[in-house]
Amino acid sequence: MSNITVVADQPVTPEQAKQLEAVLKPQGGRFVNGLKDLDEQEKKKALAEADVIYIRHVTPDIIKAAPNLKWFHQPWVGVNILLADPEVVNSPAIFTNGAGIIAAPVADLVFAFILGFARQMPYQWEAQKRREWDRKGLEETSDELNGKVCGVIGYGKIGTEVGKRAQAFGMRVIATRSHPERPAEYLDQAFSNEQLPELLAQSDFVVITAPSTPATRGLVGKTEFGQMKRSAILINIARGNLIKEQELIEALKNGTIAGAGLDVFEKEPLPPSSPLWDLPNVILTPHSGGIFQKLQTNSFNFFLEQLARFMKGEKLQNIVDKKAGY
> What is the value of pTM for the model shown?
0.94
Q: Please give the pLDDT value at position 160.
A: 98
Decide if 326 is inside a domain: no
Decide if 318 is inside a domain: no
Report pLDDT digits (tens) over 142-170: 999 999 999 999 999 999 999 999 999 99
State how far Cα 123 lies from the chain centre.
28
One domain for residues 63 and 210: no
Classify residue 319 by its DSSP letter: B
Domain count for the chain: 2
The domain containing residue 167 runs over which residues?
Answer: 103-284
122, 279 Cβ separation under 8 angstroms: no
One domain for residues 93 and 239: no
One domain for residues 190 and 276: yes
Decide if 317 is inside a domain: no
Could you list the beta-strand ranges (E) of the chain. Answer: 5-8, 30-33, 52-54, 71-74, 94-97, 149-153, 172-177, 189-192, 205-208, 233-236, 259-262, 282-284
Report pLDDT digits (tens) over 19-39: 999 999 999 999 999 999 999
Burial of 260 (0-12, 13-18, 19+ CB in 10 A): buried
One domain for residues 212 and 79: no
CATH code at position 108: 3.40.50.720
The residues carrying an active-site annotation are 239, 268, 287
Q: Please give the pLDDT value at position 233.
A: 98
One domain for residues 112 and 256: yes
Decide if 324 is inside a domain: no
Decide if 220 is inside a domain: yes
Decide if 325 is inside a domain: no
One domain for residues 110 and 220: yes
Instruction: Judge whether residue 1 has pLDDT over 90.
Output: no
